[in-house]
């Protein structure tokens, strides 16, 4: 598994240090407000666990499962919601938590659906990674771990065909490890 990595962009200690800073920002911004964090599965799972243990505020945790990559290395352009029940966030302040902001399609679709159907007080977006690239949809992150170039990365929750999520770092996948 480690042999499939061309280079490591961010080691675990660097990631955890950055999560400390994001947690401080969230605590400052949401002190005294009814907060719900909606983690986007499966990529946001590891980020959710490590970040939210650092946020010392009362909050609710919800999850939502969508698919947009469908096994490839680029967003398919179609966001599929894989559940029937949306989280109960009516009147609450919400942070959408995801592993990466790439094309913007996934986060845009989720934000629109939750805003329209669930009536939250506010929605902000937190991502571990934000690619430096033109987005297909107008969406930006309010909290960002790291900006990265437009490379295919894995680890720390990010996957390729379901693999590599458990790597403790973020790395660039070798081209030969990507099966067409």
The span from the CA of 98 to the CA of 48, in Å, is 8
The span from the CA of 114 to the CA of 130, in Å, is 22
Q: What is the mean pLDDT of the chain?
A: 91
What is residue 67's predicted lDDT score, i.e. its pLDDT? 77
What is the per-residue DSSP string for 124-156? EEEEEEEESS--SS----SEEEEEE-S--EEBT
Token pair belonging to 172 = 């660039």
Domain ranges of the chain: 12-150
**What single DSSP character describes residue 104?**
S
Is 102 tagged catalytic?
Answer: yes
The span from the CA of 93 to the CA of 60, in Å, is 10
At 165, is the secondary structure helix, strand, or coil? coil
The confidence band for 137, taking pLDDT boundaries of 50, 70 and 90, is confident
Q: What is the pLDDT of residues 62-109, one digit of tens each?
A: 999 987 755 555 555 677 787 778 899 999 999 999 999 998 998 999
Q: What is the mean pLDDT of residues 114-118?
A: 94
Q: Are 125 and 140 in contact (CB under 8 A)?
A: yes
What topology is assigned to 12-150 in CATH?
Answer: Rossmann fold (3.40.50)
The span from the CA of 175 to the CA of 4, in Å, is 9
Q: How many CB atoms lie within 10 A of CB 152?
A: 17
What is residue 20's predicted lDDT score, i.e. its pLDDT? 98
What is residue 42's predicted lDDT score, i.e. its pLDDT? 86
Catalytic residue selected from 102, 149, 150, 159? 102
């Amino acid at each position: 598994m480690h042999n499939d990595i061309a280079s490591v962009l961010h080691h675990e200690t660097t990631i955890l240090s950055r999560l400390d800073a994001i947690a401080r920002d969230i605590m400052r911004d949401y002190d005294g407000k009814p907060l719900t964090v909606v983690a986007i599965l499966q990529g946001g799972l590891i980020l959710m666990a490590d970040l939210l243990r650092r946020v010392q505020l009362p909050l609710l945790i919800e999850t939502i499962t969508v698919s947009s990559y469908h096994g490839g290395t680029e967003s398919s352009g179609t966001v599929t919601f894989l559940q029937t029940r949306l989280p109960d966030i009516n009147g609450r302040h919400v942070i959408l938590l995801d592993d990466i902001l790439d094309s913007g399609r996934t986060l845009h679709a989720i934000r629109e659906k939750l805003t329209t159907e669930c009536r939250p007080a506010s929605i902000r977006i937190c991502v571990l990674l934000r690619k430096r690239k033109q987005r297909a949809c107008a969406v930006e992150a309010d909290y960002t771990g790291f900006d990265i170039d437009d490379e295919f990365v894995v680890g720390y929750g990010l996957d390729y065909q379901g693999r590599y999520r458990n790597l403790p770092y973020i790395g660039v996948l070798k081209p030969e490890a990507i099966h067409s």
